[in-house]
Amino acid sequence: MSDTPVYEVTGLKHGYGDKFLLNIPHLSIKSGASVGIAGPNGSGKSTLLKLLAFLEWPSEGDVYYKGRAVTKKETGLRQGVTLLPQDPYLLKKTVFENVGYGLRMHGNKRNIKAKVHEALLLLGLVPKKFVRRHWHELSGGEAKRVALAARFVLNPDVLLLDEPTANVDRHSAFLIKEAVEKIRNKYGTSLIIVSHDHVWLNSVTDENLKLYEGSIIEHGLNNLLPGPWSRGNDLLWTRHLSDGQVICAADPPDRYSTAILEPSSIMISTEYPEGISAQNILRGTISSMTSDNDPGKVGIEVSVSGMPLTCGVTSHAARSLSLIPGKKVWVVFKATSLHWH
């Protein structure tokens, strides 16, 4: 594997009109890495993917691809990089024609049937069952996997995925995870993945970046809790959630500051915890679970008043507490566990 980063970004600013959506002084991504990008809506995640796919060009700064500064003239670089958008478009044709379209466009017609079948199998789509199906005969999860197979078949150096598990069922999300891991292990493909599903993202990546208002503010999948905050009692500040629950924090720089909460600072209980000093005890529902990259750990996302909070427990604790998606739980953390962006 090359020591030259697959991407290096320097002095990048990008926006539309007078408004900059991205401001990234420096970013380096190793060749063969699997990097996740998380952040709230409007933080610039999809825009960054478009820049890395050479579909847009930065207003200021440079993007280097494998050590070369990229210009608008170097459209040939797109053949080594492919992007799966959040809502991928399928041709109004059969599955076979959709998956094989890119190969034909690149003039690569040798063994096209075998290549298409291999890509479908990677994503749990049996060729005999699917190749003759038309685009309108697919479920949402199947359509997303067909679109991903159309990228896999090109054997790209870089695969950019924008919300690959959005609007798909849990089984499809698992198959997509397995497939991207296989293509990375087999071909050394670099993966850059945007997702709101932090638990799924953490299970498939080596490193995660957090984008907020166009800037990289964190390395890791810490939880972001934006304001506004109101001064409460006992020198604490509070944020009121839509269901009436309240988050307590200590000393924000101002009432519109964003708090950062590390997953390791959150405890989970299946019963209301009595006699503890933590100021934050919030009701929630487990929305997703997955095996973590760290053996013996389980990543958990809990929905609290519609707000996702990512945390983790040991596999033993998950079993002993009978934690499963849909289970009602309590999340517990101290006000002093919140630090400020």
pLDDT at 123: 93
What are the pLDDT digits (tens) for 138-166? 998 899 999 999 999 999 999 999 999 99
Do 308 and 229 belong to one domain?
yes
Do 209 and 252 belong to one domain?
no
Q: Residue 2: is its pLDDT beyond 70?
A: no
CATH code of 90's domain? 3.40.50.300
Mean pLDDT on 104-122? 91
pLDDT at 230: 93
Do 213 and 245 belong to one domain?
no
**Percent of the chain with pLDDT strictly greater than 90:** 60
This prediction's pTM: 0.76
pLDDT at 1: 55
Q: Residue 201: is its pLDDT beyond 90?
A: no
pLDDT at 294: 65
Do 206 and 235 belong to one domain?
no
Do 166 and 63 belong to one domain?
yes
What are the pLDDT digits (tens) for 239-255? 999 999 999 999 899 88
Dihedrals phi, psi of 129, to nearest 5 degrees: -85, -30
Task: Let me know if 339 is exposed, middle or buried by CB neighbors in 10 A (0-12, 13-18, 19+).
Answer: middle
Which tops the pLDDT comparison, 234 or 330?
A: 330
Which tops the pLDDT comparison, 107 or 228?
A: 228
Do 192 and 250 belong to one domain?
no
Tell me the average pLDDT of the chain. Answer: 90
Domain end, chosen from 217, 232, 254, is at: 217
Do 198 and 242 belong to one domain?
no
Task: Look at residue 182 and give its three-state secondary structure.
Answer: helix
Task: Let me know if 336 is exposed, middle or buried by CB neighbors in 10 A (0-12, 13-18, 19+).
Answer: middle
Task: Write out the H or E segment, with its range, that includes residue 11.
Answer: strand 7-16
Mean pLDDT on 42-52? 93
